[in-house]
A and B are shown apart, each in its own frame.
Chain A
């Protein structure tokens, strides 16, 4: 699994795992790389000045619009629209850059901007004098400064404020976030556990047991928060991984089946068809 998808690691030798790049430049110069699906090991923030087309994040379409900001979680599969156009900037950073301490990690894990509990975060950024833009400008100015001992902390803090201002802007534009609750905590823990083990563990019962909960309690939490059963959530995760592997690796279907914990390829094919209405090979051909 580690080696099977083409991963784009952060550029080696960068003093900070933080970059601000010109979207247009990257798009035209590295067109083949960008329009071939790849999985990025860093968080992306796309600052779209002018744009059109459809960007795919984990096979879900996100439309590219003028003056908008899009937040892409790490490890998601990005497919840039070859016919689309993007002008603006992209901010890239890693966990290592942002998570100086436990609180930073917790923030990134739970913020609506990068959480898999919600759709991809996106908002309109058409007020030049907005706080969001102020910190965006400040980050860009700091980024091109000659480095000194304060630069990392300043960039880190500016990014943190920028993300907080973005959350505020999302709420202003009508985004409803989930309120902290025992159920939400349960769902987040379940997601984290699932992320670690979905290749080998598919039973709701086992997950519940690991969380020291009854199946009923887990069921209650996921239906309350996401309106999905634990089984549905497990299936969705496996199907997403199957799709990623089908499209981004050259592995045979039976190898993928094995990697995802199916002993019989036919079971995997049936399972895939049931949940995505295509056979694995049909899906692969579409991309």
Chain B
């Protein structure tokens, strides 16, 4: 009896696999005709390095709302930025890319005007990029955890848990980062494994606690003032917030990886905000 059940299960799995293969084939066919948004973003970012012209065609030439406050609005602004980079010096290696509705989020290892790690968010309308946000931070050679600011887990899994994981991060922000219920931190972050990629913080919950305490003691607590959006797919969730770090107004982009209902890995970039008077466009850093 037991064996029979086992056989049936195997049989079912085999059928399921076959079906998946068929599905994959059809998807691939579709992709040949129309490449995915994540693919477009990856190609566009890569073109910063290669100088390829075609990926800029993924941007709507009549509407490209730029939120990087150091770059002028429109496709022309993007072109002007590329021209500033000395030819052949740029590197762009997108390590993680995922999508949430019309948004595509990329986590990229950059080198232009020095090594940087960056998050880029693109919004699509009718298959074309119409809006862009980003947050960059310089790369350091030595980190507190020994991890780099960009290495670690990359595979997107748990596609069925997107909503639950986004909710988890939303509650983590409200209760811990915004301080409604800080003691609930262990409800959200795993006590067993918390791989830290912030260059100044050690691994684990203890590492986070230690870093926050030493900042507060020096009179410069890290302050989260406002969350602007939470975007996610499967096991990856990105939150975009603003606040204060080391006495400056900054934007916080925090990427969390969730495993079995707990955050187990964290990457971030913290960028100093450009005062509105010095901004090259009027779109604001956020405004999702």
Q: How far is the CA of A144 from the CA of B220 in the complex (A)?
A: 11
What is the minimal beta-carbon distance from A142 to any residue of chain B, in angstroms? Answer: 9
Q: How far is the CA of A200 from the CA of B223 in the complex (A)?
A: 55
Task: Choose from B218, B223, B225, B226 the contact partner of A133 (Cβ within 8 Å).
Answer: B218
> Interface centre among A137, A141, A144, by most B CB within 10 Å?
A141
Q: Give the chain B neighbours of A140 by CB distance below 8 A.
A: 220, 247
Q: How far is the CA of A238 from the CA of B219 in the complex (A)?
A: 44
- Closest residue on chain A to residue B242 by CB atoms: A146
Is A138 located at the chain interface by the 8 A CB criterion? Answer: yes
Q: Give the chain B neighbours of A136 by CB distance below 8 A.
A: 219
> Interface centre among B218, B223, B247, by most A CB within 10 Å?
B247
Report yes or no: A144 in contact with B248, Cβ–Cβ below 8 A. yes
- CB-CB contacts below 8 Å: A112-151 with B: 128-129, 133-138, 140-141, 144-146
Task: Choose from A128, A135, A141 the contact partner of B223 (Cβ within 8 Å).
Answer: A141
Q: Give the chain A neighbours of B247 by CB distance below 8 A.
A: 137, 140-141, 144
Task: Choose from B220, B225, B226, B249 the contact partner of A138 (Cβ within 8 Å).
Answer: B220
Q: Give the chain B neighbours of A128 by CB distance below 8 A.
A: 218
Report yes or no: B249 in contact with A144, Cβ–Cβ below 8 A. yes
What is the minimal beta-carbon distance from A139 to any residue of chain B, in angstroms? Answer: 8
Q: Give the chain B neighbours of A133 by CB distance below 8 A.
A: 218-219
Q: Give the chain B neighbours of A129 by CB distance below 8 A.
A: 218
Report yes or no: A144 in contact with B244, Cβ–Cβ below 8 A. yes
Report yes or no: A145 in contact with B223, Cβ–Cβ below 8 A. yes
Report yes or no: A141 in contact with B225, Cβ–Cβ below 8 A. no
Report yes or no: B218 in contact with A134, Cβ–Cβ below 8 A. yes
Report yes or no: B249 in contact with A141, Cβ–Cβ below 8 A. no
Q: How far is the CA of A129 from the CA of B221 in the complex (A)?
A: 15
- Closest residue on chain B to residue A136 by CB atoms: B219
- Closest residue on chain B to residue A135 by CB atoms: B219
Q: Give the chain B neighbours of A138 by CB distance below 8 A.
A: 219-220
Q: How far is the CA of A137 from the CA of B248 in the complex (A)?
A: 10
Report yes or no: B220 in contact with A137, Cβ–Cβ below 8 A. yes
What is the minimal beta-carbon distance from B141 to any residue of chain A, in angstroms? Answer: 22
- CB-CB contacts below 8 Å: B241-255 with A: 244, 247-249
Q: How far is the CA of A140 from the CA of B249 in the complex (A)?
A: 10
Interface string of B200-239 (1 = CB under 8 A from A): 0000000000000000011111010110000000000000
What is the minimal beta-carbon distance from B161 to any residue of chain A, in angstroms? Answer: 34
Report yes or no: A145 in contact with B219, Cβ–Cβ below 8 A. no
Report yes or no: B244 in contact with A145, Cβ–Cβ below 8 A. yes
Q: Give the chain A neighbours of B221 by CB distance below 8 A.
A: 141
Report yes or no: B249 in contact with A137, Cβ–Cβ below 8 A. no
Q: How far is the CA of A136 from the CA of B248 in the complex (A)?
A: 13
Report yes or no: A137 in contact with B219, Cβ–Cβ below 8 A. yes
Residue ranges of B at the interface with A (Cβ–Cβ < 8 Å): 217-221, 223, 225-226, 244, 247-249
18 contacts between A and B (CB under 8 A): A128-B218, A129-B218, A133-B218, A133-B219, A134-B217, A135-B219, A136-B219, A137-B220, A138-B219, A141-B219, A141-B220, A141-B221, A141-B244, A144-B249, A145-B223, A145-B225, A145-B244, A146-B225
* 9 tightest A-B CB contacts, nearest first: A137-B219, A138-B219, A134-B219, A140-B247, A137-B220, A144-B249, A141-B220, A141-B247, A146-B225
